[in-house]
Amino acid sequence: MDIAKLQQFIIQAKKATYASGGENQAKNLSNGRKEYIFKEGRLEYVDRYKGHEEFMGKEEVSKNKKLLWQMKYKGKVLNDKIPADDIYIFLRKVLRQVPADKPFRGPIKFCDREYKYINIVNGDLEKFFGKEQVYYKKALVYELDYLGGATNNPNLTL
């Protein structure tokens, strides 16, 4: 598997889905989940999640319906005094800054006005885990845990 090509595809897909427009661009599924799909050639990125203030989901990249990479995540708004949508507006801005070397969530640190984002990540595209946090006026208002990695199928190439 060409890791560099996979990284570039994940970055492109993330910027074109939730980070670009939020929930308004998601497809609503019958089970209450939301779904984003991004395709390029034979590669497909799918992000499905359920919930709003507290949510769980997973992102997958496949080629010809064979799984190449997956990330699972669970997040929660921790402060009901700040609307979740305000936090998510800031978070989408952060997620558009997805780093090339660790294209899982946002950069290690990002600040904008009263908001601050921290991402603690371990590993690489093949196996990783991390936690992101959003602070508003120095108070922790949101956090998300994530983990994932690439499949070990040697027959899958980009």
Model confidence pLDDT, tens digit, residues 62-104:
999 999 999 999 999 999 899 999 999 999 999 999 999 999 9
- Percent of the chain at pLDDT exceeding 70: 94
Predicted TM-score of the model (pTM) = 0.92
Q: Which pLDDT score, from 0 to 100, does residue 3 have?
A: 85
Q: Which pLDDT score, from 0 to 100, does residue 11 have?
A: 96
Is residue 21 scored above 90 in pLDDT? no
Is residue 128 scored above 60 in pLDDT? yes
Closest CA to 70 of 36, 51, 46: 46
Q: Please answer whether residues 132 and 118 qualify as being in contact, where contact means their C-beta atoms are separated by less than 8 angstroms.
A: yes
Whole-Å CA distances, 37 to 33, 34, 83, 137: 13, 10, 27, 34
Q: How far is CA 30 from the centre of its chain?
A: 22
